[in-house]
Copies of this chain bind each other. A is one copy, B any other.
C-alpha cells in the first residue's frame, strides 16, 4: 500500500501516488522523481524568495539573493531532508544506496525538492508555501550574518570606511578577446596607501570582485 504521509512532513497527500513518485530516485527505474525535482527546485526558489522579500523589507536585492542561495542550496536542503528522516522512505537502486555519503546527501536534497513539487501538485500553492515555510523556518532564522554573505567589493569598502580610510579605486587595465569571450583586467588600488592588486575575469564586475578578494586578504594580514 502507498503511504500518504511522512512523519516529519505536516501534509497528507490526497493522491499518495504524488508522494510515491517524489520518493522514487532515478536509480530505481525509468519512472522516477526527476521531473518533479525540476519543478520543486523552481518552487522552493520562488517560495524562499517570497519569504525573504517579506521578512526583510529593507534588504537590497543583492542581500536577498545571497540569503536565498544559502537556504536553497543542496547542502541546506540535504540537512532538512535528514532532519525529516526522509532516508528510509527513499525508493532507490542498490548502486545508489551503497554510494558514498556525499552522493547520498545530494540525493536526499534532490528528493526533498521533488516532495515540494508533489505537495504543490497535490495541494496547491498555498499548501506548499506552508510546508516550505515550516521546514525552512529554522534555517532562515539562523542564517549567517548578512555581512559574511556580502560580496568582496562591498566588504572591502566597508572595512576601509569603518576605519576612516578612503574607498578603493577600480580601474580597467585592459579588455581583450572576441565579443563572446571577452576578458577584463581590473586594478584595485588603495588611494591612501601604495598597494594595488590586479585580476582578470570574464566581466568587469567579476574582475573587480576578484581584485577586491586579494586586497581583503592582504589587509587581513597587515
What residues make up the interface of A, taking CB atoms closer than 8 Å to B? Answer: 34-35, 37-39, 41-43, 45-46, 49-50, 53, 59-61, 64-65, 68, 120, 125-126
Contacts and interface: CB of A to CB of B under 8 A. Distances in A.
Nearest to A58: B35
B42 A61 contact: no
B53 A49 contact: no
A184 B34 CA distance: 25
A126 B41 CA distance: 19
A34 B50 contact: no
A121 to B, nearest CB: 9
A42 B129 CA distance: 14
A185 B198 CA distance: 29
Contact of A35 (B42, B43, B45, B60): B60
A42 B51 CA distance: 12
Where chain A touches its partner, the secondary structure class is helix
Contacts of A50: 39, 42, 120
Please name the 4 residue pairs, one residue from A and one from B, whose CB atoms are nearest each other, closest first.
A42-B49, A38-B61, A46-B46, A42-B46
A53 B60 CA distance: 32
Given A35-B59, A38-B64, A39-B49, 9 more contacts: A34-B61, A38-B49, A38-B65, A39-B50, A42-B46, A45-B45, A45-B46, A50-B120, A125-B125
Contacts of A125: 125-126
Contact of A34 (B34, B43, B60): B60
A53 B34 contact: no
